A and B are shown apart, each in its own frame.
Chain A
Amino acid sequence: QKEVEQNSGPLSVPEGAIASLNCTYSDRGSQSFFWYRQYSGKSPELIMFIYSNGDKEDGRFTAQLNKASQYVSLLIRDSQPSDSATYLCAVVFSGGYNKLIFGAGTRLAVHP
């Protein structure tokens, strides 16, 4: 069973702090990893993708990938109340072509 695991939260952080969201996956052969953000009542929207071990930065967002530990994370620096949403980790498992499997999501609440 190929799985993507996330802590459901809620993760509560004060405005201006760093929010750290974590995700583990079961398939060691997975090659591509995505983070989506979903506001309540809206559709998921892509934040970042990462394929190589290490860090990838885009503005206030940093994705971190450790394939040996089967672990991917998303850091949000200088968190804002507008970042309050559910963050979905998604993985393309080996042999899955473009088949994206999502975790259950972590709800983030940024309070002023």
Chain B
Amino acid sequence: DAGVIQSPRHEVTEMGQEVTLRCKPISGHDYLFWYRQTMMRGLELLIYFNNNVPIDDSGMPEDRFSAKMPNASFSTLKIQPSEPRDSAVYFCASSSGQGYSPLHFGNGTRLTVT
């Protein structure tokens, strides 16, 4: 089991640029989550999918953020245009959705917007 795979591990970009973060969930997991972690706000849920369908995107901070899940093994989180306040660690996590199943986190993408 390879676990949840995120790429890139680090991303440094300039304000105004488009940023795309990628995630491959654990095979067989029906739920995929995108979280953002900062010192000030902790771990915030941005959006989550069930069977590739977005269920709750109420945590997406604004229209600059978008997420897609075109198939069961791939998801992207896009920020366009990026701003310095978007600097954070972005985690992707997946779960099986069976009963009260826990989340399995990827290693995260550390985003720095200058």
B residues with CB within 8 A of A: 31, 33, 35, 42-43, 45, 48, 50, 55-56, 91, 95, 97, 100-108
Contacts and interface: CB of A to CB of B under 8 A. Distances in A.
A98 B45 contact: no
Contact of A99 (B48, B104, B106, B108): B48
Chain B interface SS verdict (over half): strand
B94 to A, nearest CB: 10
B42 A98 contact: no
Contact of A49 (B33, B55, B100, B106): B100
Contacts of A45: 105
A106 to B, nearest CB: 11
Interface residues of A, number: 22
A98 B43 contact: no
Interface of A: 31-32, 34, 42-46, 49, 51, 88, 90, 92, 97-105
A98 B97 contact: yes
Contacts of B33: 100
Given A98-B31, A98-B95, A99-B56, A46 B102 contact: yes
A43 B102 contact: no
Contacts of B56: 99
Given A51-B100, A99-B48, A43 B43 contact: no
B58 to A, nearest CB: 10
26 contacts: A31-B100, A34-B103, A43-B91, A43-B106, A43-B107, A43-B108, A46-B102, A46-B103, A46-B104, A90-B103, A92-B100, A97-B50, A97-B55, A97-B97, A98-B31, A98-B50, A98-B101, A99-B45, A99-B48, A99-B55, A100-B103, A101-B45, A102-B35, A102-B43, A103-B42, A105-B42
